[in-house]
Amino acid sequence: MQRYFIENKVDENGFFIINGEDYKHIVRVMRMNAGDRFIAVFTSEDVFESEITDIEDSYLRAKPVHKIEHQSELPVKVTIAHGLPKGDKLEYVIQKSTELGLYSLKPFSAERSIVKWDQKKGKKKAERWNKIAKEAAEQSHRSVIPAVEEPVKLNQLRSSFHEYDAIMMAYEEDAKAGETSNFTKLLNQLRPGSRMLVIIGPEGGLSEAEVETFIADGAVSCGLGPRILRTETAPLYILAAISYHFELMR
């Protein structure tokens, strides 16, 4: 059953309105009619099977039929701080990380980022990133759309460290040195509801100066096994490991 994230609230008569792109998708792409049902996810994260009651020229009206209690969110809220990579790699990271339970993504301009953020084009690009996250969240039956921020500078990223219960930094030199325990130790310290920040460098990795700065600010440097992962693969490995630790292993 198709899933949509609903911004409008249910009114006093028990109905809600859908317009904009979701209206077009329901009516023109899915070709739904009055009486057809879909899954509505509200901003409260409540999920309802809902039924279309009537369709107008620019909006439709629907009503919740029954609540769905299925829990699809990771117990830990994981934010990925990703050094700006080349090309469309970040779009891939956003889509696949959303499927794996990402809570939010915070791109940053790393020392070795080849791509430089264009403020003039930035707003449009950020809108595209958030659209990708929304579509991936609908496809993977999430009840939260990950927030994708516009890229920040290194100092702005560091100033947000206090918001998290744990800060992990994926560092390839640790992997090369055979470090294998820090990631597991971090996960064992976390509890449901904890907030975790994961720092991943761009294609060239994090510079020594960045690594030293992050560690001084409280980040834990971690290897990700004996193989060196691409920048777009590392967040997927980490989220999959977190899912296994909190959702499957237990």
8-state DSSP, 244: I
Q: Which of helix, strand or coil describes residue 155?
A: helix
Express each pLDDT in 140-164 by its tens digit: 999 999 999 999 999 999 999 999 9
Token output for 5: 């994230």
Q: Is the Cβ–Cβ distance between 144 and 97 less than 8 Å?
A: no
Token output for 124: 């449009």
Express each pLDDT in 92-122 by its tens digit: 999 999 999 999 999 999 999 987 777 777 7
Per-residue pLDDT, 176: 82
Q: Is the Cβ–Cβ distance between 79 and 107 less than 8 Å?
A: no
User: CA angle at residue 77 from 9 to 102, to 5 degrees?
Assistant: 80
- According to the 3-state scheme, what is the secondary structure of 169-205? EECHHHHHCCCCCHHHHHHHHCCCCCEEEEEECCCCC
- Which has the minimum average pLDDT: 119-133, 143-157, 226-240? 119-133
Q: Residue written as tokens 């620019």?
A: 58
Domains detected in the chain? 3-68 (2.40.240.20), 77-248 (3.40.1280.10)
With residue 65 as reference, give the H or E element that holds it. Answer: strand 59-68
Non-local (6+) Cβ contacts of 119 within 8 A are: none
Cα separation of 245 and 115, whole Å? 34
Token output for 196: 């975790």
Express each pLDDT in 44-59 by its tens digit: 989 999 999 999 999 9
Q: Confidence band (pLDDT; 50, 70, 90) for 165? A: very high
The rounded mean pLDDT for the chain is 94
Q: Confidence band (pLDDT; 50, 70, 90) for 71? A: confident
Strand bridging mode 59-68 / 16-19: antiparallel
Question: For the packed helices 234-243 and 89-99, what is the interaxial angle rounded to 10 degrees?
Answer: 10
The dihedrals phi and psi of 214, each to the nearest 5 degrees, come to -65, -40
Per-residue pLDDT, 175: 80
Token output for 23: 């209206």
Q: Is the Cβ–Cβ distance between 93 and 232 less than 8 Å?
A: yes
Non-local (6+) Cβ contacts of 188 within 8 A are: none
Cα separation of 198 and 127, whole Å? 23
Per-residue pLDDT, 186: 95
| pLDDT > 90 in the chain, percent | 85
Strand bridging mode 59-68 / 47-55: antiparallel
Q: Is the pLDDT of residue 6 over 90?
A: yes
Q: Is the Cβ–Cβ distance between 150 and 239 less than 8 Å?
A: no
Average pLDDT (185-209) is 95
Non-local (6+) Cβ contacts of 11 within 8 A are: none
Strand bridging mode 220-222 / 166-170: parallel
Q: Is the dihedral of CA 166, 169, 170, 175 positive or negative?
A: negative
